[in-house]
Amino acid sequence: MQKTGRILIVENHALLRAGMCSLVRMDPNFEVLADYSNAHDAIAALRTMSPNLILMDISMPGMSGIEAVIDIKKRYTGIRIIIVTVHTAAEYVHASMCAGADGYLLKDATHDELLTAIRSVLAGKTYLSPDVSSGVVQRYLSGGGRAAQTPLDELTHRERQVLKLIAEGHTNKYIAHYFTLSVKTVEKHRSNLMQKLNMHNASALTAFAIDQGLLGHRFDDSH
């Protein structure tokens, strides 16, 4: 009997990834084609395999799940994607759905909810975990309620680049190496960002970057 769900699992944590694989395989209609710890390897695998659904983590090294959704949807329009994450903030949900995700599931979901989400998305529906759905749909449909002018307009091109890498979880040392800058210069950019945006930690900067769609934005990498 042909499997109705050919699934790829992309999850940063090995234990969670193994658990998700086991849970999905409990349904005889679903087949786990492969599992990966990062988005780059998963996207490369799409050249040789044809899943019809991907379970995608958000927080991963190198490329975030939101960026991966944008990339995959541009090249493989028939693949459905469910974000599976610990993040309950509306900013993450909004960014994921705007990127093109077909579902948003929390990692503390039950086995039954996981299977329900998979079946719903494979059937062409959109699935949102009940714990995050309140108010999110309205915000998504209204485009997030952003004003025409945002604090993002106050940032320089380099500050936006640094903000994007901060939001992806990279260290000052990594950002300095990426742009061939000194660590002190990166620290100065980070300080300027917090001052201009009136934010006081990396978590606030990350939420802002996600809400502004920076994780899916491709900057010119010329230094």
Secondary structure (DSSP) of 37-53: SSHHHHHHHTTT---SE
- Average the pLDDT over each of 3-17, 59-73, 88-102, 183-197 and give the range with the smallest value: 88-102
Q: Take residue 188 and report the two structure tokens written for it.
A: 């100065």
Query: Where in the chain are the domains?
Result: 5-143, 151-216
Question: pLDDT grade, residue 125 (50/70/90)?
Answer: very high
Of the chain, the percentage scoring pLDDT greater than 90 comes to 50
- Which fold would CATH assign to domain 151-216? Arc Repressor Mutant, subunit A (1.10.10)
Question: pLDDT grade, residue 148 (50/70/90)?
Answer: very low
Q: Take residue 132 and report the two structure tokens written for it.
A: 């995050």
Give residue-wise pLDDT tens across range 184-222.
Answer: 999 999 999 988 888 888 878 887 887 777 765 555 554
Residues 58, 64 contacting (CB under 8 angstroms): yes
Q: What is the rounded average pLDDT of the residues 44-71? A: 90
- Which fold would CATH assign to domain 5-143? Rossmann fold (3.40.50)
Q: What torsion do the CA atoms of 80, 94, 110, 65 make, to the nearest 10 degrees?
A: 60
Residues 68, 42 contacting (CB under 8 angstroms): yes
A 10 A CB-CB count for 149 gives: 8
pTM: 0.67
Confidence (pLDDT) at 222: 46
Count of residues in the chain: 223
- Average the pLDDT over each of 1-15, 51-65, 84-98, 108-122 and give the range with the smallest value: 84-98
Can 5-143 and 151-216 be said to share one CATH topology? no
Confidence (pLDDT) at 102: 95
